Amino acid sequence: MDIKTVGIVGAGQMGNGIAHVFALAGYDVLMNDVSREALDAAITLIEGNLDRQVSRGKISQSDRDAAMGRIKTTLTLTDLGQTDLVIEAATERESVKVAIFEDLVPHLKPETILTSNTSSISITRLASRTDRPEKFMGFHFMNPVPVMQLVELIRGIATDEATFKSCLAVVEKIGKTASTSEDFPAFIVNRILMPMINEAVYTLYEGVGSVASIDSAMKLGTNHPMGPLELADFIGLDTCLAIMNVLHDGLADTKYRPCPLLTKYVEAGWLGRKTDRGFYDYRGETPVPTR
């Protein structure tokens, strides 16, 4: 299928980044959210990120202007029905995603490919709640989308070859690299990354090291650009906990048990950068460890 128009559900951290890269690659983008404020904020953020790319010489001013001209927004989910490819990038909760698909599916063109940016939820299970499991895939971008080069493509049990090839061609056109994963809990990246973050939280919980010492040890000892606790704050502690619960429930192995301290931070509403507090406090000029 020749994909020209892309519908994006969700204008948050992932959705606006996905809109950015698709518009820059020449696709017409229609971005949906339930909040006008979220859509306006997304457009402002995309403009700022494109301006930064212009100032660094990565794109031209005409590229920037053309990309912004390709992005439109809507509060009406069903408006996405006429696009060729839909990427759902809503909250990482299965009930939310299923509700979106149930509302959207009756309005889709028969040939539209439906995908989810989920970082951990079963693609087969999500696909089964639609009318097109053979045209459904996992399309998992890394954050921040304009910077990170990887896209995980995840086939459900029913995904057909034509859908996979179409999505693979799209990944290549937007200048990313695809990694193909089987449909198991958390796929490849988060299957490896989240237990590492969870173990870092256990290391803090058990008093082995402080926030600063754990992050410094991993940055300097293993050459990671960010420490695991700093990275958890960047991702969102609620997202980290949700993925650990998917791993724990889906694989029934105690090694994936979420650390109680991670649960406590989420219960406190300390979710990381997006709430100004997580393993670091971001309310001042420089982040300060909270433990």
| Residues belonging to the active site | 119, 140, 152, 190
Comparing CA positions, the residue from 199, 184, 55 lying closest to residue 121 is 184
Confirm if 124 and 152 have CB atoms less than 8 A apart.
Answer: no
Residue 11 annotated as binding?
A: yes
Helix axes of 189-205 and 260-267: crossing angle, nearest 10 degrees: 90
Cβ-based neighbours of 262, under 8 Å, separated by 6 or more: 198, 201, 232, 237, 240, 241, 244
Residue 233 annotated as binding?
A: no
Residue 128 annotated as binding?
A: no
Residue 48 annotated as binding?
A: no
9-43 residues labelled b (16+ CB within 10 A) or e (exposed): bbbbbbbbbbbbbbbbbebbbbbbbeeeebbeebb
Residue 15 annotated as binding?
A: yes
Helix (H, G, I), strand (E, B) or coil at 150: strand
Helix (H, G, I), strand (E, B) or coil at 6: strand
β-bridge partners, 130: none
Residue 143 annotated as binding?
A: yes
Comparing CA positions, the residue from 112, 91, 66 lying closest to residue 9 is 91
Q: Is 151 buried (19+), middle (13-18) or exposed (0-12) by CB count in 10 A?
A: buried
Residue 215 annotated as binding?
A: no
Residue 58 annotated as binding?
A: no
Residue 16 annotated as binding?
A: no
Helix (H, G, I), strand (E, B) or coil at 145: coil
Residue 31 annotated as binding?
A: no
Comparing CA positions, the residue from 254, 248, 261 lying closest to residue 120 is 248
CA pair distance 227, 274, nearest whole angstrom: 18
Q: Please state the residue numbers annotated as binding site for NAD(+).
A: 10-15, 33, 92, 97, 119, 143, 274
Q: Please state the residue numbers annotated as binding site.
A: 10-15, 33, 92, 97, 119, 143, 274
